[in-house]
C-alpha cells in the first residue's frame, strides 16, 4: 500500500489542507488536494493544490509569485485532513493581498476585518 492510500480521500478524491507558516505557526489558508496535488507538492517542494472551481492543479503563487515552499507535511489522526508547514514567499498567502485568508474575526455578532491589505490584488494578479 502506498502512503497516498493511507489518506482518507472523500468521494470526489479530495482532502482538506490547512496551511501554516512554518515559523510563526499562523494558519494561512484552507485549500484542497487530490492525490496528484499531494504527489506534485512533494516532488516540486512547494504547495500545489486542487482548484475545485477550475477543476485543475493550482500551484500556489503561479500568478502572484507568492509561492509556498514546503517544509513539512502531516496527516491528522483520522487521516482525512492534511497539514502543510510552509515558508510563505512574499509574506502574502491570500488572494486579497493579506498575510492570511483568515482575516475576519467575529466580534459582537459581526465579522470584522483584522488584517490589513499588504498589496492591492490588482497589482498582484493580471486578471482582476
Q: Looking at the domain assignment, is residue 15 inside a domain? A: yes
Q: Enumerate residues 6+ apart whose C-beta is below 8 A from 119.
A: 92, 97
User: What domain count does the chain have?
Assistant: 1
120, 128 in Cβ contact below 8 A? Answer: no
Show the beta-strand stretches assigned E in the chain.
15-21, 27-33, 48-51, 56-59, 68-75, 82-88, 104-107, 110-113
123 part of a folded domain: no
Give the pLDDT confidence score for residue 128 in this predicted structure.
44
Of 109, 78, 111, 114, which Cα lies nearest the Cα of 98? Answer: 114
Domain membership of residue 26 (yes or no) is yes
| 19 is a domain residue | yes
Nearest to 63 by CA among 45, 51, 77: 51
The CATH number given to whatever domain includes residue 81 is: 3.10.20.810
> Which pLDDT score, from 0 to 100, does residue 126 have?
66
Which is nearest to 61 in space by CA: 42, 87, 39? 87
**Is 128 part of a structural domain of the chain?**
no
Q: Which three cell numbers stand for residue 63?
A: 500568478
Q: What is the pLDDT of residue 127?
A: 52
Cβ proximity of 120 and 58 under 8 Å: no
* pLDDT reported for residue 1: 75
- On whether residue 83 sits in a domain, the answer given is yes
* Tens-level pLDDT at each residue, the chain (128 residues): 799 999 999 999 999 999 999 999 999 999 999 999 999 999 999 999 999 999 999 999 888 889 999 999 999 999 999 999 999 999 999 989 999 999 999 999 999 999 999 988 888 876 54
The whole-model pTM stands at 0.89
Domain span at residue 81 reads 3-117
Phi, psi of 39 (to 5 degrees): -60, -45
Q: Is residue 127 situated within a structural domain?
A: no
125 located within any domain: no
Amino acid at each position: 500500500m502506498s502512503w497516498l492510500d493511507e489518506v482518507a480521500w472523500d468521494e470526489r478524491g479530495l482532502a482538506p489542507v490547512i496551511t501554516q507558516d512554518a515559523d510563526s505557526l499562523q494558519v494561512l489558508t484552507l485549500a484542497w488536494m487530490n492525490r496528484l496535488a499531494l504527489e506534485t507538492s512533494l516532488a516540486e517542494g512547494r504547495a500545489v493544490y486542487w482548484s475545485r472551481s477550475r477543476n485543475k492543479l493550482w500551484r500556489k503563487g503561479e500568478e502572484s509569485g507568492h509561492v509556498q515552499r514546503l517544509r513539512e507535511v502531516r496527516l491528522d489522526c483520522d487521516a482525512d485532513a492534511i497539514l502543510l508547514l510552509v515558508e510563505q514567499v512574499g509574506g502574502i498567502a491570500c488572494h486579497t493581498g493579506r498575510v492570511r485568508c483568515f482575516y475576519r474575526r467575529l466580534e459582537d455578532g459581526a465579522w470584522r476585518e483584522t488584517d490589513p491589505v499588504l498589496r492591492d490584488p490588482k497589482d498582484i494578479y493580471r486578471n482582476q
